[in-house]
Each structure stands twice: as C-alpha cells, then as structure tokens.
A and B are shown apart, each in its own frame.
Chain A
Amino acid sequence: ETGVTQTPRHLVMGMTNKKSLKCEQHLGHNAMYWYKQSAKKPLELMFVYSLEERVENNSVPSRFSPECPNSSHLFLHLHTLQPEDSALYLCASSQGLALPYEQYFGPGTRLTVT
C-alpha cells in the first residue's frame, strides 16, 4: 500500500477522444508529479505541482493538460493523442520538493492510443 492511487488502471482511447487520468494521495504531501514511462525509455518527468501551483512543465505537448485542484488530487487531461503517447503514466507525491524527500508512486495507468 503506497498511499497513492490512480484511476483508471487501464485505458484504451482513440485519437479523437478526450479522457482524464486521476491521481489521489493520502499521505499529506505537498508536491505531486506526473511521469511517462514508455517501453525502452527511462521515466520522463512531465509535470510538477507544489502546493497546487505548477512549478515544472517539462516540454510536454499541449495535448496533455494537468490540473491540481488541491494538494491531494492531480489530474491529467488527454485530448487528440497520438499512438506514440501509449505508455504507463505514473503519478507520484512527496512531502516537499527539496532533498531528501523521496517520491512515492502510484500503480500507474496503462494507456493505449488506437
């Protein structure tokens, strides 16, 4: 039990669909993150939120739109995706941004774009 939950666990969507990924952390943390994990590539940081304010946008295409309504919830809104966006999307949270706070990850959403 990691304290970070993600829904849905699996998602298949067409390129014209709009969907959202949800992440919730039950750890009282102040920072939340979205990562993308593609086959044969290292994890890539997408977005960072601290106290509900976005502090990092790692050159992510605009078809990915994050939202952090409060410190416990993080969403990733998806629209007009491409097949190369198929990947495991991982959410994480940490007590703060600075070292040595480790990040706790959710189980991920396996996204397939058809």
Chain B
Amino acid sequence: AQKITQTQPGMFVQEKEAVTLDCTYDTSDQSYGLFWYKQPSSGEMIFLIYQGSYDEQNATEGRYSLNFQKARKSANLVISASQLGDSAMYFCAMREHEGAQKLVFGQGTRLTINP
C-alpha cells in the first residue's frame, strides 16, 4: 500500500531564506508520480510541482524544486528565497501508475515565514 510521511508538523523560517520540506514515501510500484501542493488559509489546494519516478532530472518550477532521491524514497520540496506569501500548509502526495486514480496525501507541514 502506498504511504506518504511528512515528519515536520511545523516549520518557522526567516523571509528570504531557503527552506526544505521533507517527504518520504513507500510504494512497491516502479512507476509512480510525486506531487507537492500548497494550501493557504483560504482552503484551496494549489499544485506546485510534479516528479515522475522515471524522471532523471529533479523537477523545478520557479522558486520550487524537488530533491528526488529514489533510493531513499524521499521527495523533499525546496523553496528558495522564501516570501511571506509562502506561509501555508504544504502537502506531499503520490499516485501509483497502477490504480492511478488514487492520490494519497501526507499529513502536511505548516510553514510560517517570519519577516
């Protein structure tokens, strides 16, 4: 069964610093996808970045990058030059290729950016 673990319930970071949010996963499939979402206090989940299990390069989207270490089954999100608007809940999620309908989420990390 697929499982996502986010071990940091909360993180506090100074504005303009880089921050790494941890995510480890467990799956027996060889083909899967990893996603990061941001959930501000307004409630909606905002898609940030995607990494496929066969992608050789780490995914990047603007200030977001994904540090994908397949052998360790980790997919950490790195936010460079953090901004006050980055304060939110961040969720790591995974979909397996087989039975690909199911997107399984971790517990989330609450990130607070201090001025």
State the A residues within 8 Å of B (CB).
Answer: 2, 31, 33, 41-43, 45, 48, 50, 55-56, 58, 88, 90, 92, 97-100, 102-108, 110
Contacts and interface: CB of A to CB of B under 8 A. Distances in A.
A65 to B, nearest CB: 19
Q: Tell which of A55, A107, A110 has the most Cβ of chain B within 10 Å.
A: A107
Given A48-B101, A99-B95, A103-B47, A42 B33 contact: no
Given A42-B107, A102-B35, A55 B101 contact: yes
Chain B contact residues: over half helix, strand or loop, or mixed?
Answer: strand
Sorted from nearest, which 6 A-B pairs have the closest CB atoms?
A: A105-B45, A108-B43, A107-B44, A43-B105, A99-B33, A42-B105
Contacts of B106: 42
A106 B39 CA distance: 11
Contacts of B46: 2, 105
Contact of B100 (A97, A104, A105): A97
A74 to B, nearest CB: 14
10 contacts: A42-B104, A42-B105, A43-B45, A48-B102, A56-B101, A56-B102, A58-B102, A88-B43, A99-B33, A108-B44
Interface of B: 4, 31-33, 35, 37, 42-47, 50, 52, 91, 93, 95, 97, 100-108
Contacts of B37: 105
Nearest to B4: A42
Q: Tell which of A43, A90, A100, A107 has the most Cβ of chain B within 10 Å.
A: A43
Contacts of B102: 45, 48, 56, 58
